[in-house]
Amino acid sequence: MQLALQSLLPTDHGGLATPHMPLSSSCLYICTEGRFPSKRFVQMAAHFFAKNSAVLQRQKNQPAVAAAVSPAGGDGGAVASGGDRGAAAGPPGPGPGGSRSSLLLDRVLISELLEPEEFWPFIRKDLPILVESRDVRLIVIDSITGICRGEMADSREGVFQRSRWLIAFTSLLREVASLHGVAVVTVNQVSAIFDDDVTAAAVSYTHLRAH
């Protein structure tokens, strides 16, 4: 989440936004491990804004960009789920009236995708549209193997199925990254207990990272 915020700074300050134009781009955060920790992220955004206020306040008089989908409910924001075909939204805002850090929150798009079958329509159809319409410079996937757990990990055949899925998925991500010039960061959890199946999956993931 810290990396998502950092990417909103201009390149001359260690981010991915246009030089001398903070908050001119967006980050897409794909969450596969359950609900996105919105409250924690709002706290991090407030701290990040305070730390980088001299840079970010260059943009303070510009209108905030609306989220990709309309907020749902009364929490001041929305986080899209797989049922929305991966449509992305900003995390909930800090409350009525907002704050200066809401400029950051408007630039981080959240998509919760919890099932493998939710990924493909999103990656193939919705992702390229979001990248173009919201000027996404960074895509974070947390985590790359979280989407493959469950039935894919119950047997040796499931491990092979997961490996095939990861190969197809990462190939498609490379294509998106190359075509649109975006950075893609994948997160993977570390296990302290290994068996043959887990080791096979780990080898497959390491091979994908190396290529």
CA end-to-end distance (rounded Å), the chain: 25
Q: Which amino acid is at 38?
A: S
The per-residue pLDDT for range 68-109, each reduced to its tens digit, is 332 333 333 334 444 444 556 666 554 433 466 788 899 999
**Alpha helices (runs of H) in the chain, residue ranges in sequence order:** 2-6, 38-51, 53-56, 102-105, 116-121, 127-133, 156-180, 196-210
pLDDT average, residue stretch 6-21: 90
Report which of residues 204 and 131 the model is more confident about: 131
pTM equals 0.72
In this predicted structure, the answer to whether residue 26 has a pLDDT above a threshold of 60 is yes
